[in-house]
Amino acid sequence: MYTTLHVLSCLLIPTLTAAISVVPEEIRMDWVSTAEPFRTDCECESGIAPDLSQRVLSLAEFPNDSCLKCYMCCLSTNLNLMNPATYELSVKELVRRVAGVDYVIATKCVNATSGLKNPSEKVYQTSLCIVFSLVQPPISIT
């Protein structure tokens, strides 16, 4: 019983911390404006509920949802963060296009997800890594 509760608390605390929007608001609002030109097309492509597509960036809310993962993958492809042929994420483009992300964060998060083969899962896990790196104070995921 203790082990199960301990594991659940270890998994839920970082998620809840991210969900209460501890990523600075100016960064989150920049994410929203950066994604806006692709929002509608990516909502259609992924099947995500429009309210979730707004919450994911404006509130840094990342539930484990397959439509959300597809939505994030669509945004990443449209923003040239990921090569659609190889599914490799670009550290350079993450730094250039994603507010709050510097070379250290981008490198750490790309390296942490490099072994993932599913592009939607890779983008989702990279996004979580970025969120956990930007919360105030930062949460260690390693």
What's the whole-model pTM score? 0.80
Cα gap 99→117, rounded to integer Å: 26
DSSP state of 138: P
- Assign residue 35 the CATH number of its domain: 1.10.238.20
Total number of domains constituting the chain: 1
Over the stretch 10-41, which tens digit does the pLDDT of each residue have? 444 444 444 444 899 999 999 999 999 999 99
Domain annotation covers residue 80 = yes
Q: Region 106-115: what's the mean pLDDT?
A: 97
DSSP 102-137: -HHHHHHHHHHTTT---HHHHHHHHHHHHHHHHSSS
The range of the structural domain enclosing residue 102 comes to 25-134
Q: Region 108-117: what's the mean pLDDT?
A: 96
DSSP state of 59: S
- pLDDT band, very low/low/confident/very high, at 53 (cuts 50, 70, 90): very high
Cα gap 86→104, rounded to integer Å: 23
The confidence score (pLDDT) of residue 139 equals 57
14 alpha-carbon distance from chain centroid: 14
| pLDDT of 62 strictly over 70 | yes
Joined together, the tokens standing for residue 49 give 């509920």
**Please, what is the average pLDDT of the chain?**
86
Domain annotation covers residue 87 = yes
Over the stretch 73-110, which tens digit does the pLDDT of each residue have? 999 999 999 999 999 999 999 999 999 999 999 999 99
Percentage of the chain beyond pLDDT 70 is: 81
Domain annotation covers residue 5 = no
